[in-house]
């Protein structure tokens, strides 16, 4: 079956760097998306990796390694407003395959 696994919770300190990992088992994998969701809010798109390597967008970066079936989201210079849940997703529907999201990682930031 298809699945994306990520830790349920991660804690980090304000100003630090944190990495949220995502491992996947999907057939015909195309790429990995990342979404952020604040409490009571809707998921918002952060990044997408179609190719192996690092994609950087400001304080956030995302990495993909197809050979390891693994990706991560890297958040730098953490701010309190980064406290949220982060989801990895296999977002592109292939024939007869589902669009799936991981269960999400809750990021707690300590002052």
Partner 1 sequence: DAGVIQSPRHEVTEMGQEVTLRCKPISGHNSLFWYRQTMMRGLELLIYFNNNVPIDDSGMPEDRFSAKMPNASFSTLKIQPSEPRDSAVYFCASSFGTSGRSSYEQYFGPGTRLTVT
The residues that touch partner 1, with contacts defined as CB under 8 A, are: 30-31, 33, 41-45, 48, 50, 87, 91-94, 98-104
Closest CB 13 distance from partner 1, rounded Å: 26
Query: How many angstroms separate the CA atoms of 14 and 21, rounded?
Result: 19
Q: How far is the CB of 16 from partner 1 (least distance, A)?
A: 27
By beta-carbon proximity to partner 1, the closer residue of 59 and 94 is 94
Contact 22, 10 (CB under 8 A): no
Q: How far is the CB of 87 from partner 1 (least distance, A)?
A: 7
Task: Using CA atoms of 66, 4, 100, 91 in order, give the dihedral in degrees to the nearest 10.
Answer: -30
Nearer to partner 1, 63 or 87 (CB): 87
Phi-psi region of 28 (alpha: psi -120 to 50; beta: other; left: phi over 0): left
Query: Which of residues 24 and 87 has its CB atom nearest to partner 1 in the complex?
Result: 87
Indicate the residue among 10 and 92 with the shorter CB distance to partner 1.
92
For residue 109, the minimal CB distance to partner 1 (Å) is 21
Query: What does DSSP say about strands 9-13 and 105-110: parallel, antiparallel, or unpaired?
Result: parallel
């Amino acid at each position: 079956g298809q699945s994306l696994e990520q830790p349920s919770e991660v804690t980090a300190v304000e100003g630090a760097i944190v990495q949220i990992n995502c491992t996947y088992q999907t057939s015909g994998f195309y790429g990995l998306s990342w979404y952020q969701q604040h409490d009571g809010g809707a998921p918002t798109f952060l990044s997408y990796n179609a190719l192996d390597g690092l994609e950087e967008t400001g304080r956030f970066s995302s990495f993909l390694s197809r050979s390891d079936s693994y990706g991560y989201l890297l958040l730098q210079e953490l701010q309190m407003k980064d406290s949220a849940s982060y989801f990895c997703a296999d977002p592109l529907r292939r024939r007869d395959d589902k669009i799936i999201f991981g269960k999400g990682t809750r990021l707690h930031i300590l002052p």
